Amino acid sequence: MIIGISFKLENEWGFILERLLQACDITRYNVLIKNDEIYSSKGYSIDIAGIYSGATLMKLLPKERNYCMTVSILAFEDEPHNIQLYDEFKNSNCKFIIFIDDVVDVWVYIKDPDLLKRTTEIVEQRYGSYEYVHDTDLNEKRRLLW
């Protein structure tokens, strides 16, 4: 079963988080942000770690181009909580996870097949190639996030 996608970003300043979050309709969810290392094009570090509504998160993101070194975004319809392993994700009410690592590597894990399809189409249009992540690629104890 397909549980997500992975793809590469260009190593550049931009609005990567905003675009990915819009693709996943983040305003419908509550989110846990962790492991964030994001920089503004104006030269300051942006700290958005915490728990927010999706609408609040979109307001917190910088209005100028930014550089996302790493971030983990976990989306829930109710109260967010920490998830590290695949079996925790699978057995939780977490709807999707976006994980950016080392600027260019992105994994998006999504339970809802329709949301996965819409997100995949947007990723393909904006970023080109991607690979599906299958549940068989992950064992129960595999870390989803670092």
Instruction: Find where tokens 């939780």 sit.
Output: 92
Per-residue pLDDT band at 35 (split at 50, 70, 90): confident
Where are the chain's structural domains? 2-137
Q: What is the DSSP string of 1-50?
A: -EEEEEEE--SS-B-HHHHHHHHTTGGGSEEEEEEEEEEETTS-EE---E
pTM of the model: 0.91
- Token representation of residue 28: 């419908």
Q: Which residues contact 20 (CB under 8 A, 6 or more apart)?
A: 98, 106, 108
Question: How big is the CA angle at 69 (ends 68 and 73), to the nearest 5 degrees?
Answer: 65
Whole-angstrom distance, CA of residue 75 vs CA of residue 9: 21
The one-character DSSP state at 144 is S
Residue 140 pLDDT level (bands cut at 50, 70, 90):
low
Per residue in 89-130, pLDDT (tens digit) is 989 999 999 999 999 999 999 999 999 999 999 999 988 899
Confidence band (pLDDT; 50, 70, 90) for 19?
confident
Q: How many angstroms separate the CA atoms of 138 and 145, rounded?
A: 12
Contact predicate 127/5, CB 8 Å: no
pLDDT at 62: 80
Record the tokens describing residue 112, joined without a space: 């809802």
What residue has token string 């030269």? 43
Q: How is residue 69 written in tokens?
A: 């070194």
Taking residues 74-91, report their average pLDDT.
92
